[in-house]
Amino acid sequence: MSIDDVTSIASDCLFTIIKTAAPVLLISLCVGLMVSIFQTVTSIQEQTLTFVPKVLAIFITLMILGHWMLNNMVEYMQSLWESFSLYIR
């Protein structure tokens, strides 16, 4: 196993992590931004107000995109295990 193989595996792993986590993080970011704008406009400074909408948005996102996210991770792991014999040489 060469250094090129290791860097290829690491870059594929990081790309898979970013691709899988991006929808949840973007939804959380957008909901947090909307709640912050709402708090600024209405002068409500309740810190727990951001928690519930974010949790609900993340839960809904995971329900909608969870299957795709899991398939993404499974495909990556299958590709690693299929080429495992190449890596141990």
70 SS3 class: helix
Which pLDDT band, with edges at 50, 70 and 90, does 2 fall under?
Answer: confident
Task: Extract long-range pairs of 27-30: CB within 8 Å, 24+ residues apart.
Answer: 27/57, 27/58, 27/61, 28/54, 28/57, 28/58
**Paired tokens of 34:** 């909307």
Mean pLDDT over 59-88 rounds to 91
- What span, in angstroms and rounded, lies between the C-alpha atoms of 73 and 45? 39
Whole-prediction pTM value?
0.78
For residue 60, pLDDT beyond 90: yes
